[in-house]
């Protein structure tokens, strides 16, 4: 779990740095916001395409063969990004190479690893691991912004690439293990304690992909994933640009991004703790309310009332952190087994598809209307729909509270 924490701290921050580089690149090349945001959208399409493959590779070949390869690809992508001079360069370097590298070491593999190690207290363990992204973002994003301001965004990419390789390659090559069986240990908790789901027999081997596809839960989660992906990435990519438009200094916008990330870390841990004890649906709803409140405050924020932007960072960070952890946990609850990596990867394809649309649509709205307001209002609707969807999926019927409370 500690290695996953550190991996997500570096890899997650690398992926999360796009909104900082995005503003610097816009100012140098004067490209439209929609066209520039396509780089992030393309990265999400690559994420979607690689998701099932990465899940299958992890199920078949294990962690130590896949993750070091991902570090190499990511490093090449970061170094190459320092030399871009046209949109298609940006699309290839960030949208393809960096995205492929992050996919092999980021969210999908670490959810698989933590789910393999933990059954009891799984959501809490995922929350702690995911907290690495917030801690890394809090530390690295302001440093990256400082580097951009002092040595330029191209040299900042070179520094970032060196950091990624020096930290992650030896860490993942020497120390990471994909399951407790690799060290002669057993999973924390007994998978045999899972009750039978409606129409889907839960066994130690878990459902196959065809069996999962015939479940209404699979398709409901797929729809929710598309919506959540679009909402999160649409706001994430344009957040710094929005704050710059409102009148906040760029360095403050970067700090707010880091502040939201650290509260996202805390939200992930607290969300995991509460959902393990009080249920996935109730906890997801509560943290969605926090997210909704945070975005509502962002809509009305302005440079004359800086307290609003800090309040947004706290509420939005806590809310999105909690819902992200709970959402990953309930998928593991439902589909845990030897094929979970593949199933999870396929569902993440839907997330990637939505995340690809979000930044482009948000930029298109701004380019045509001169405001982000309709996009932000749409994101509010997405969170309401997501809550309804989670209650339809009803993970409580698959995994009882009693199985997780011990």
- Output the domain CATH number for residue 130: 1.20.1250.20
How far from each other are the two terminal CA atoms of the chain, in whole angstroms?
20
| Per-residue confidence band for 223, with pLDDT thresholds at 50, 70 and 90 | very high
3-state secondary structure (DSSP) of residue 118: strand
* Alpha carbons 179 and 269: distance in angstroms, whole number: 21
The total of structural domains in the chain comes to 1
Average pLDDT, stretch 124-133?
A: 72
CA 288 from chain center: how many Å?
A: 16
* Alpha carbons 295 and 239: distance in angstroms, whole number: 11
Average pLDDT, stretch 135-140?
A: 77
For residue 102, is pLDDT > 90? no
> Which tokens go with 248?
């906040």
Q: Contacts by 166-172 with C-beta closer than 8 Å and gap 24+?
A: 167/6, 167/10, 168/7, 168/10, 168/11, 168/71, 168/105, 169/68, 169/71, 169/72, 169/75, 171/3, 171/6, 171/7, 172/3, 172/7, 172/63, 172/64, 172/67, 172/68, 172/71, 172/105
33 within domain boundaries: yes
Length of the chain: 406
For residue 22, is pLDDT > 60? yes
* Alpha carbons 54 and 335: distance in angstroms, whole number: 17
186 within domain boundaries: no
Q: Are 249 and 119 in contact (CB under 8 A)?
A: no
356 within domain boundaries: yes
> Which tokens go with 331?
């998928």
235: Cβ–Cβ under 8 A, 6 or more apart, which residues?
Answer: 295, 358, 362, 375, 376, 379
288 within domain boundaries: yes
The boundaries of the domain holding residue 369 are 2-177+191-404
Q: How far is CA 178 from CA 58, 71, 99, 185, in A?
A: 8, 16, 21, 12
For residue 271, is pLDDT > 70? yes
What pLDDT is recorded for position 198?
42
Q: Contacts by 144-150 with C-beta closer than 8 Å and gap 24+?
A: 144/17, 144/20, 144/21, 144/254, 145/20, 145/250, 145/251, 145/254, 146/251, 148/20, 148/21, 148/24, 149/250, 149/251
CA 116 from chain center: how many Å?
A: 19
Quote the mean pLDDT of the chain. 81
Lowest mean pLDDT among 80-84, 171-175, 243-247, 361-365: 171-175
- Tens-place pLDDT, residues 183-214: 555 555 554 544 444 444 444 457 778 888 88
What pLDDT is recorded for position 245?
86
What pLDDT is recorded for position 277?
83
- Tens-place pLDDT, residues 283-336: 999 999 999 999 999 998 887 888 899 999 999 999 998 998 888 888 878 887
For residue 52, is pLDDT > 70? yes
Helix residue ranges per DSSP H, 62-196: 63-81, 87-90, 99-105, 107-117, 122-151, 153-174
Dihedral angle computed from the Cα positions of residues 85, 141, 359 and 23, in that order, rounded to the nearest 10 degrees: -50
Buried b (16+ CB within 10 A) or exposed e, 367-400: eeeeebeebbebbeebbeebbebbeebbbeebbe
Q: Are 229 and 352 in contact (CB under 8 A)?
A: yes
The angle at the Cα of 321, spanning 172 to 119, to the nearest 5 degrees, equals: 60
Lowest mean pLDDT among 77-91, 328-342, 361-375: 328-342
């Amino acid at each position: 779990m500690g290695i996953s924490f550190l991996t997500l701290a570096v890899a997650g921050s690398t992926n999360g740095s796009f909104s900082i580089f995005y503003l610097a690149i816009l100012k140098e090349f004067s490209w439209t916001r929609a066209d520039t945001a396509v780089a992030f959208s393309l990265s999400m399409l690559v994420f979607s395409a690689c998701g099932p493959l990465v899940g299958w590779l992890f199920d078949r070949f294990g962690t130590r063969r896949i993750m070091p390869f991902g570090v190499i690809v990511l490093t090449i992508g970061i170094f190459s990004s320092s030399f871009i001079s046209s949109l298609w360069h940006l699309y290839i370097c960030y949208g393809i190479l960096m995205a492929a590298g992050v996919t092999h070491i980021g969210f999908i593999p670490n959810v698989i690893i933590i789910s393999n190690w933990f059954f009891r207290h799984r959501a809490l363990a995922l929350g702690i691991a995911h907290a690495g992204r917030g801690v890394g973002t809090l530390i690295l994003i302001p440093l990256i912004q400082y580097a951009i301001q002092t040595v330029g965004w191209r040299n900042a990419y070179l520094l970032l690439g060196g950091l990624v390789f020096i930290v992650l390659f030896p860490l993942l090559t020497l120390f990471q293990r994909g399951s407790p069986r690799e060290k002669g240990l057993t999973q924390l908790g007994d998978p045999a304690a899972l009750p039978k789901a409606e129409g889907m027999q839960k066994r130690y081997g878990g459902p196959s992909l065809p069996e999962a596809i015939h479940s209404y839960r699979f398709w409901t989660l797929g729809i929710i994933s598309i919506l959540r992906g679009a909402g999160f990435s649409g706001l994430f990519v344009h957040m710094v640009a929005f704050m710059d438009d409102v009148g906040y200094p760029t360095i403050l916008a970067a700090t707010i991004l880091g502040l939201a990330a650290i509260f996202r870390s805390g939200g992930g841990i607290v969300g995991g703790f509460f959902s393990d004890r009080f249920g996935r649906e109730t906890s997801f709803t509560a943290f969605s309310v926090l997210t909704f409140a945070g975005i509502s405050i962002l809509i009305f924020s302005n440079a004359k009332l800086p307290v609003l932007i800090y309040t947004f960072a706290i509420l939005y960070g806590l809310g999105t952190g909690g819902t992200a952890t709970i959402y990953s946990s309930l998928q593991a609850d439902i589909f845990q087994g030897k094929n979970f990596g593949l199933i999870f990867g396929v569902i993440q394809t839907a997330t990637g598809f939505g995340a690809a649309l979000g930044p482009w649509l948000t930029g298109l709205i701004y380019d045509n209307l001169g405001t982000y307001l309709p996009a932000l209002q749409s994101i509010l609707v997405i969170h309401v729909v997501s809550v309804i969807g989670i209650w339809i999926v009803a993970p409580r019927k698959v995994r009882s509270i009693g199985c997780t409370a011990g």
